[in-house]
A and B are shown apart, each in its own frame.
Chain A
Amino acid sequence: MSDKISLLEAVNLALHRAMAEDENVVVLGEDVGVNGGVFRATLGLRETFGFKRVIDTPLAETMIGGLAVGMAAQGLKPVMEIQFMGFIYAAMEQLVSHASRLRNRTRGRLTCPLVLRTPMGAGIRAPEHHSESTEAMFAQIPGVRVVIPSSPARAYGLLLAAIDDPDPVIFLEPTRLYRMNPQVVVDDGKRLPLDTCFTLREGNDLTLISWGASIHETLQAATQLAERGVSAEVIDVACVKPLDLDTLEASVRKTGRCVIVHEAPKSCAVGAEIAASLYERVLLDLQAPIQRVTAPDIPPPLYRLEQLYMPGPDDILAACDTVLNYA
């Protein structure tokens, strides 16, 4: 019980728990059954819950998305896996035009309690189309939730909550964190809320806002700041849609300084939404302009240069210096 597990194992643990608790939960996707998923996130589910509930689908992402809508409308709770975020776009129409709207279109007569899990982000020397962070595209869709865990414990609690949720949830798993920083996760079935940020570290001098894999570098930067006597508050947004602006507002009101860190390209990203909302709410409490540390608006380079793409602790510290030293 006290063994440390990785984020990937936490996902697997939550899936086992959800399927054991509710027979309406089904898992579907490419290679999720016999093979246990290409990352092994669904390992062992087929053996425990059988082929009727752990379904290897034909290789067609649009179909997986549409199938899950039909299943969900029938009262099942499909948890579909899209093998990589780079292949999710074929299912986009099903998310935008159907999953997110079925409840509203029918005035609640039909609903769509599905979960779409997919690995996201750069940093594992993967081939082309395996390294994107396009969470902002999904955050634009009314009616869905977009959730990104950044630790094994949050992956466990948030995935259980996502499967419980009566509406569609897009659950993005940072591949770079899959096997990093294992921690003890108690399999107690406890859900985490889907509409609050998580304050990972309290501080008074500035607020660092991030989510997903970038949380790792953001925490490293906060540690280095502490060594310099600067107390940084670190907030993991975790649920980028809907966005808990109140927690962010309260923190920035307290510190007066804010740096936002994300791996997605800069323009029109979730960071832009957060910065704009904070300016609407706390402009006169700010001691310095909000800084964003992000990838540039380029496709993720192939892996020889991919380290350049992702914000590192050095970039974050430089942005922190900018807001700390602002006249």
Chain B
Amino acid sequence: MPNKIDLPYTRYLAPDGRLSGDLPAWADDFNLLTRLYRQMVLTRLFDQKAVALQRTGRIGTYAPTLGQEAIGVAIGCLMHPEDVLIPYYRDTAVQLMRGVKMEEILLYWGGDERGSAYVDPAVREDFPLCVPIATQALHACGVASAFKIRGEHRVAVTTCGDGATSKGDFLEALNVAGAWQLPVVFVVNNNQWAISVPRRIQCGAPTLAQKAIGAGFHGEQVDGNDILAVYDRMRIALERARHGKGPVLLECISYRLGDHTTADDATRYRPAEEVKQAWQEEPIKRLQTFLASQGVWDEGREQALVAECQAEVQASVDVFEAAGIQPVESVFEHVYAQWPAVLADQREMLLERAARRGGERHE
């Protein structure tokens, strides 16, 4: 094949949790590994709670991150606070790791803009979740351009799914990132499914990572269910970008264990056998098995961790449920820096409507 492109593929932990090859030096730090493990468990418990809240009508549609915890936790853990995350809509894992609060994520999916107002100073420049596919990749290039213009050693990190790599926006973003050697890292969560369309008919290229080659920069694949692999390669990608050595595309190969969103039913289009197989390779059990094999994890620690995480999740649900609804006036507050005086009558119209409806719930 004259056009074959060989790209690196990294995996340290096999699906059964056994080590394949030597560990990188940083992975000797078991405190770090148990911290990553804890965050993956917390993410999954929160994710399950969010789905349960949707099923009981307490939040709206939610996009579960089930199965992709390793990718998000690793990149969120490695980014510096001054870096900027430009996420897509399946990014609960990375957002929690960055410092977005669980109650903010619930507010967002629960129909309240305050969920994207992020109070933690560490994430005050991060973008909110992006719903229109791949459009965020361009924002990342704009953010990275600003870093470059100002001579700052910061990195813009943007995420997307495998389907997003088919869009012109994604390819235009890769193109400009390569042309200008921007400090940006593109993380593709290749979870094999874009709603009902499988990876094999999404794109004719053997890898998604090789799209970077056409744009003139480095791309590679990692096992996205092996947090050691994602962490190791993301660490190097961030370092490259931070030191002016150009962008990186990291294709993290994983599997969307849940439905596309709570409004989707994946049993309509994919075989149960495939999902069952994918559960054998999921990231949390894999790291747990490894940690246990190293003697730093056991059933007792697991039970204590789950109880602790469940309490943390429940506390966030309590905060979310106590938040109340924004005042009616708030819908005008941030459309413009100041609501234009020439549109005052429209504001009056809505306030009157609200007053007329009185005690009715505005939802």
Residue B179 lies at the interface, judged by CB distance under 8 Å to chain A: yes
Most buried by B among A52, A67, A195: A67
Given contacts A70-B146, A106-B128, A109-B116, whether A58 and B179 have CB atoms under 8 Å apart is yes
Determine the interface band of chain A, counting residues with CB < 8 A from chain B. 35 or more
Residues of B within 8 A of A105 (CB): 113, 116, 128
Residues on B with beta carbons closer than 8 Å to the beta carbon of A26: 149
Q: How long is the Cα–Cα vector from A62 to B142 in the complex, in angstroms?
A: 12
> Given A71-B143, A73-B127, A94–B175 Cβ distance below 8 Å?
no
Cross-chain contact B336 with A143 (CB below 8 angstroms): yes
Which residues of B lie under 8 Å from residue A75 when comparing CB positions?
Answer: 146
**Chain B binding site: helix, strand, loop or mixed by DSSP?**
helix
Taking the complex as formed, is B139 at the interface, i.e. its CB lies under 8 A from any CB of chain A? yes
- Taken together as a complex, chains A and B put the C-alpha atoms of A66 and B127 apart, in Å, by 13
**Shortest Cβ distance from B86 into chain A, in angstroms?**
7
Contacts of A67 in B (CB 8 A): 138, 141-142, 145, 176
A60 within 8 A of B: yes
Contacts of B144 in A (CB 8 A): 70
A107-B114, A109-B118 as given contacts; A74 in contact with B146, CB under 8 Å: yes
**Shortest Cβ distance from residue A156 to the other chain B in the assembled complex, whole angstroms:** 22
Find residues 288-314 in chain B having any chain A CB closer than 8 Å to their own CB.
Answer: none
- What's the minimum C-beta distance from B180 to chain A, rounded to whole angstroms? 9
A103 to B86, CA, bound (A): 15
**B117 — which chain A residues lie within 8 A by C-beta?**
106-109
Q: In the complex where A107-B334, A110-B125 touch, is A66 in contact with B116 (Cβ < 8 A)?
A: no
A66 touches B132 (CB 8 A): no
Asked if B138 and A71 make an inter-chain contact with CB atoms under 8 angstroms apart, the answer reads no
Interface presence of A14 (CB below 8 A): no
B92 CB, nearest partner CB in chain A, Å = 18
Q: Given the interface contacts A74-B125, A94-B135, does A107 sit within 8 Å of B172 by beta carbon?
A: no
Complex Cα–Cα for A75 and B127 (A)? 13
Contact in complex: A63, B141 (CB < 8 Å): yes
Among A65, A109, A165, A195, the residue within 8 A (CB) of B124 is: A109
Excluding A53-B149, A142-B335, 14 further A-B contacts by CB distance (< 8 Å) are A55-B145, A58-B175, A63-B175, A66-B138, A66-B141, A67-B141, A67-B145, A98-B139, A103-B335, A103-B336, A103-B337, A109-B116, A195-B340, A196-B342
Please, could you name 13 A-B residue pairs with CB atoms under 8 Å apart, sorted by A? A58-B175, A66-B139, A66-B142, A70-B142, A70-B144, A70-B156, A98-B139, A103-B334, A105-B116, A110-B125, A143-B336, A242-B342, A245-B342
